[in-house]
Structure 1
Amino acid sequence: MSAKLPLVGLPADTYEKSGFLFHSLGDKYVRALTDVSKVASVMIPSLLDEAGIDALLDHFDGVLMTGAVSNVHPPHYGEEATEAHEPYDHARDTTTLKLIKAVIARGIPLLCICRGFQELNVTMGGTLETELQDKPGRLDHRGHGEDPDERYKMAHKISIEKNGVLSRILGKSETTINSVHRQGVKSLAPGLQVEATAPDGIIEAVSVKGARGFNLGMQWHPEYKAASNPDSVKIFTAFGDAVRAHLREREQVFYGNKRSA
């Protein structure tokens, strides 16, 4: 195995303060990668164009699309923006929707969480619906309480599709997850397949059909205190293993080309 730590990129959220735009990244995602996946991580700034994304991906062995307070701007999936869809992060949208396409095209390991899960669906041609708790027959998927442990506590079960990516990782047909979201998948993108669903039918996990590399998208937050949750340990370990395998492949190509030069 290479002595070099593989590198995983995570997209930045943006916010304005005192007239300046700031880029930020949640600690819980970095901690899960460090403590469980055993990889190095770096923040991908927003507002990158395709050229900037391609240049960065030359150095990455994995990408983790994080959750966020903001939502994907509805015009990106053909709907009109309303107050119910807010808040937005247009700078993040500018980067992430192109980033996901590039990552899938290259076969780089991809893990998408919450907003990242929704970005994956939009990128692949799907749509989203907002305020799920107001729809007949839907559960209230929002996290409640100011204390993080209360907000991210286990909320409901999910049914896991047999012989799928998530089933192979967790080794079971159902589990219990936290739930901290107002939006969900409305129409599933043609290039995605369902990996798990909630009792009310909301899609909770997906993967990309025929993807060359590891990929998995989840609506819940496995990164929260990942090291103490057995399911999260399995998910982030599987992602870390895939990232390390990608690094080995990159090194074989590099050194093979160097020897033949």
Structure 2
Amino acid sequence: MTPPPCLVWLPADHRQLGPHATPYLLLGDKYARAVRDCAAAQPVMFPLAAADDLPGLLGLVDGVLLTGSPSNVHPSHFGQEVANPALPLDPARDALTLALVRACVEQGVPLLGICRGFQEINVALGGSLHQTVHGVPGLMDHRERGDTPEQEYAPSHEVRLAPGSAMEAWAGGPVARVNSLHGQGVDRLAPGLRATAHAPDGLVEAFELEGARRFACAVQWHPEWRCAEHPFYAAILSAFGAAVRQRQAERLSGSRTTP
């Protein structure tokens, strides 16, 4: 019998669109396709999920991918006031994803964070963010450039990868070039997170959770963009997919992984 597909949960963004500010629940197409094409899993959404629903919902899935988004994590979650009210926020997403991160860590659910998702993991575990990276002395401007997606997602700068890390293995060496489309970034890294990539200005660009029961990594860049065309990006998602398949096998057999 053909086994059921592995299921990866991608939380929705909350937006108001159109002339009447109609509420929408959205998922970026490129994230769903990356899960399907490079992690070999089925993307799923629980559009109205709340933190109280996590005990039941996490038992249905094999992994969680926290996507990027135009919105930022609300700075109240790391003890700051809003620096720029013009920038979009998504408190409804925060209410779910910050709790979701902690639940994934506790239950050993494979977790991959991308861009906003990278920042969510850091904040959920006790870290803080620079609200305006380009306004911090000594840091580069990491925001996107160009008028087309091909220009925006083109390689922007190098990252130095931690020796012996999984990230270095996936890249096939100590240095890689990545895209850059973010205005916020890690300030204080949360306890238990190990930086595995840095930009030339020293900004943390990737981390892993030390002692994680299963895959728990995040990157500030966007490996989902045409992941099949970029061996490094594909390797990150493939490793996530392997962890997802292991989780499914144990979930379906009814076994449990001990810490």
What TM-score bracket applies, with the shorter chain setting the length?
A: over 0.9
Identity rate, percent: 42
Structure 1: runs of 5+ lacking an equivalent:
255-261
Match of 1:29 in 2: 31
Cα 1:7–1:47 shift into 2, 3 Å: closer
Match of 1:67 in 2: 68
Q: How large is the RMSD of aligned CA atoms in angstroms?
A: 1.6
Partner of 1:44, secondary structure, is coil
Partner of 2:248, secondary structure, is helix
- Equivalent pairs, count: 253
Question: Structure 1 segments of 4 or more deviating over 6 A?
Answer: none
TM-score, normalised with respect to structure 2: 0.93
* 1:52-94 residue CA offsets vs partner (Å, 9 max, x unmatched): 1221111110000000000000011111112168210111011
Shift of 1:171: 3.1
Partner of 2:24, secondary structure, is strand
Aligned residues of 1:84 and 1:131 also touching (Cα < 8 A): no
Aligned residues of 1:13 and 1:89 also touching (Cα < 8 A): yes
* Whole-Å separation in 1 of the counterparts to 2:49 and 2:84: 24
* 1:108-141 residue CA offsets vs partner (Å, 9 max, x unmatched): 1110000000000000100000221222222111
Shift of 1:252: 2.2
Structure 2: runs of 5+ lacking an equivalent:
none
Q: Match of 2:11, as an amino acid?
A: P
* Whole-Å separation in 1 of the counterparts to 2:171 and 2:157: 17
Shift of 1:16: 1.9
Match of 1:203 in 2: 204
* Whole-Å separation in 2 of the counterparts to 1:124 and 1:134: 25
TM-score, normalised with respect to structure 1: 0.92
Match of 1:142 in 2: 143
Shift of 1:146: 2.5
* Whole-Å separation in 2 of the counterparts to 1:91 and 1:72: 10
* 1:4-60 residue CA offsets vs partner (Å, 9 max, x unmatched): 21100001001124354211000000011111111101123256132x122111111
Cα 1:201–1:46 shift into 2, 3 Å: farther
